[in-house]
């Protein structure tokens, strides 16, 4: 009994920390609003410039509210809504209650000529205010001049912990936590039969080892196995988190081209580093090709070499993004029809929910399948790189 209690605590602690952070963040938002009210109360005792600034702030806030009110009345733009949901963001939106957005502000990190600038994205007030020379414009950070116009020439690196980065952190934290727990129980149990979460992870590990790595790489598979397992579980856990519609899911990590691109670049780099003589010979001196064809064949082979990571990038990105778009599209349908007639909206919601449920099941499959496909293709590329070429079979 005591043992199982201890186990529960192990899982409860991270959950509790996350909840604490949400609470802290929402409190901060509430405080910010109170602070502004407080400022406006005490303006009489401060000098005029402050009054002016505060007035401006209030004015902006009012404009903001008006804009929000206006926005809520304007026709639903499903395309924009979907794009906003699958794109990256500087805060983690949790819910909108009335006119108040409940969201977790995430840290903004900007590296420019003046050095690092780190502050919470709540400073931007959802794009209504500039802070330290930067402003949120259409979901992007842009540099602004002192008069408030956008400075297109400014060069800076935006290294912010965006929603996707934060979601990825949570996912990898959980992944490491799970895998270390599993590794611990392997160390403890030795060669005994798997128990608990081991039983879930072990078939996947054996599947990757026996069905993916061994057949496609051959005898040298052990060298690549840690990487293959890492990308498989990394993609799988991020895909699964992407399917959770609210915090800590809801981000579109593996549906972001930057993430898939880095994964593909890792695969490409490992392939190129481990490529043996046969592999490079196949690209730059394709065996069995007549001499006059070489000027044509070599560029094709080189394009083929770079084509592989590009295909990997786009396949994962497109599959996951498409799934998100379809689910969001079904939900948008409800509101599009509800705008025509409330009853129609309710009627459509039945079908939308049914279809979304179906799609979610499909997405569960896709989440696994895309992780598997990415791993399989990576291991096939590794297999090509380390394959022993026999010159005799080409002539």
Partner 1 sequence: MELVKPGIGLLFWMTITFSIVLYLLSKFAWKPILKSLREREDSINNALNSAEDARKLMSALKSDNEKLLQEARIERDKMLKEASDMKDSIIAQAKRSADEEGRKLIANAKESIEREKLNAMNQLKTQVAELSVDMAEKILRKKMDDRSQQEAFVNDNLKSISAN
Rule CB under 8 A: say whether 58 interacts with partner 1. Answer: no
Rule CB under 8 A: say whether 206 interacts with partner 1. Answer: yes
Nearer to partner 1, 337 or 374 (CB): 374
Residue 105 contacts residue 121 (beta carbons within 8 Å):
yes
Rule CB under 8 A: say whether 161 interacts with partner 1. Answer: yes
Rule CB under 8 A: say whether 266 interacts with partner 1. Answer: yes
- CB 110, min distance to partner 1, A: 9
Residue by residue, DSSP assigns 48-76 as: HHHHHHHHHHHHHHHHHHHHHHHHHHSPP
Q: Where does residue 134 fall: left (phi above 0), alpha (psi -120 to 50 degrees), or beta otherwise?
A: beta
Rule CB under 8 A: say whether 174 interacts with partner 1. Answer: no
Nearer to partner 1, 317 or 337 (CB): 317
- CB 258, min distance to partner 1, A: 4
Say which DSSP state 223 is in.
H
C-alpha to C-alpha distance for 360 and 235, rounded to whole angstroms: 17
Rule CB under 8 A: say whether 176 interacts with partner 1. Answer: yes
363: nearest Cα among 329, 331, 323, 330: 323
Nearer to partner 1, 107 or 347 (CB): 107
Residue by residue, DSSP assigns 292-303 as: GGHHHHHHHHHH
Rule CB under 8 A: say whether 164 interacts with partner 1. Answer: yes
- CB 84, min distance to partner 1, A: 10
Sign of the alpha-carbon dihedral angle for 147, 150, 156, 161: positive
Rule CB under 8 A: say whether 216 interacts with partner 1. Answer: no
Rule CB under 8 A: say whether 316 interacts with partner 1. Answer: no
Rule CB under 8 A: say whether 204 interacts with partner 1. Answer: no
Residue 135 contacts residue 142 (beta carbons within 8 Å):
yes
- CB 54, min distance to partner 1, A: 32
Nearer to partner 1, 160 or 352 (CB): 160
Rule CB under 8 A: say whether 172 interacts with partner 1. Answer: yes
Nearer to partner 1, 262 or 340 (CB): 262
Nearer to partner 1, 68 or 88 (CB): 88
157 - beta bridge partners? 111
Rule CB under 8 A: say whether 119 interacts with partner 1. Answer: no
Rule CB under 8 A: say whether 355 interacts with partner 1. Answer: no
Rule CB under 8 A: say whether 205 interacts with partner 1. Answer: yes
Q: Which two tokens stand for residue 18?
A: 């996350």
Residue by residue, DSSP assigns 185-218 as: HHHHHTTSPP-THHHHHHHHHHHIIIIIIHHHH-
Rule CB under 8 A: say whether 202 interacts with partner 1. Answer: yes
Q: Which helix (H) or strand (E) holds 133?
A: none
75: nearest Cα among 336, 334, 329: 336
Binding range to partner 1, per CB under 8 A, among 22-30, 45-53, 143-151, 176-184: 176-184
In terms of Cβ atoms closer than 10 Å to its own Cβ (0-12, 13-18, 19+), residue 373 is: middle
In terms of Cβ atoms closer than 10 Å to its own Cβ (0-12, 13-18, 19+), residue 222 is: exposed
Rule CB under 8 A: say whether 209 interacts with partner 1. Answer: yes
Radius of gyration of the chain measured on its C-alpha atoms: 26
- CB 300, min distance to partner 1, A: 25
The site map against partner 1 for 94-113 (x = CB under 8 A) is ---------------x----
Q: Which helix (H) or strand (E) holds 140?
A: strand 140-143
Rule CB under 8 A: say whether 183 interacts with partner 1. Answer: yes
The site for partner 1 (CB under 8 A) is made up of 83, 86-88, 109, 157-162, 164-165, 168-169, 172, 175-176, 179-180, 182-183, 186-187, 189-191, 201-202, 205-206, 209, 222, 225-227, 229-230, 233-234, 256-259, 261-263, 266, 317, 321
């Amino acid at each position: 009994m005591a043992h199982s209690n201890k186990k529960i605590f192990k899982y409860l602690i991270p959950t509790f920390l996350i909840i604490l952070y949400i609470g802290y963040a929402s409190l901060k938002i509430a405080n910010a609003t109170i602070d502004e009210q407080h400022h406006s109360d005490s303006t009489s005792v401060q000098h005029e410039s402050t009054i002016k600034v505060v007035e401006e702030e209030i004015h902006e806030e009012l404009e903001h509210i008006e804009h929000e009110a206006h926005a809520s009345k304007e026709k639903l733009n499903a395309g924009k809504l979907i794009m906003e949901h699958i794109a990256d963001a500087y805060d983690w939106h949790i819910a909108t209650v009335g006119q108040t957005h409940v969201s977790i502000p995430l840290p903004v990190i900007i590296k420019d000529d003046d050095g690092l600038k780190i502050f919470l994205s709540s400073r931007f007030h959802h794009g209504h205010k500039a802070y330290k020379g930067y402003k949120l414009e259409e979901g992007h950070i842009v540099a602004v001049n002192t008069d408030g116009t956008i400075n297109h020439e400014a060069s800076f690196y935006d290294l912010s912990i965006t929603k996707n980065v934060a979601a990825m952190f949570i996912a990898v934290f959980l992944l490491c936590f799970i895998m270390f727990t599993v590794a611990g129980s392997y160390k403890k149990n030795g060669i005994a039969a798997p128990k608990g979460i081991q039983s879930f992870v072990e078939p996947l590990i054996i599947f990757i080892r026996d069905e993916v790595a061994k057949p496609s790489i051959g005898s040298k598979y052990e060298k690549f196995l840690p990487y293959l397992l890492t990308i498989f579980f990394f993609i799988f856990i991020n895909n699964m988190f992407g399917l959770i519609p609210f915090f800590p899911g809801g981000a579109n990590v593996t549906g972001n081209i930057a993430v898939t691109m880095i994964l593909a670049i890792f695969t490409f780099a490992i392939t190129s580093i481990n490529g043996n003589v046969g592999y490079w010979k196949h690209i730059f001196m394709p065996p069995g090709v007549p001499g006059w064809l070489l000027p044509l064949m070599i560029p094709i082979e080189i394009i083929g070499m770079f084509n592989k990571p590009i295909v990997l990038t786009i396949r994962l990105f497109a599959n996951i993004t498409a799934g998100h778009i379809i689910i969001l599209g079904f939900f948008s349908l409800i509101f599009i029809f509800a705008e025509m007639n409330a009853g129609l909206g309710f009627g459509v919601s039945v079908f939308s929910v049914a279809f979304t449920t179906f799609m979610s099941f499909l997405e569960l499959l896709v989440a696994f399948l895309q992780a598997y496909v990415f791993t399989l293709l990576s291991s096939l590329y590794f297999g090509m790189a380390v394959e022993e070429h026999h010159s005799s079979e080409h002539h």
